[in-house]
Amino acid sequence: MAKNVTEVTDNSFQSEVLESTKPVLVDFWAPWCGPCRMVAPVVEELSGELSEKIKFTKLNVDENQNVAAQFGIMAIPSLLIFKNGQVAQQHVGALSKAALKGLLDKVL
């Protein structure tokens, strides 16, 4: 995992995501999910470019089902962008770097 992407869990979600002072991208994923593996390098690449403005995190839905249920994650990959503790943008499914950057730009 890239050094700019933080792994979050049910236990750390509140402090890492909801209480963050800057917007947070949460990549809801699982190891067995093919499209998740396609999104991961895109998230990692953008984290290298935008980590000053946005915090990048990943949450394994197999290991952290409480948070996934709390936000109604039914399909993965699901990318949720939180701002001030609220979901500001969300996208389900794989997407291009340009498309993800567009979602992030809406929040900045």
Cα 93 from Cα 10, distance rounded (Å): 22
Max distance between CA atoms of the chain, in angstroms, equals 32
Catalytic residue among 8, 25, 26, 36: 36
Q: Select which of 17, 25, 26, 33 is catalytic.
A: 33
3-state secondary structure 71-93: CCCCCCCEEEEEECCEEEEEEEC
80 classed as catalytic: no
Catalytic residue check, 36 = yes
Catalytic residue numbers, as ranges: 33, 36
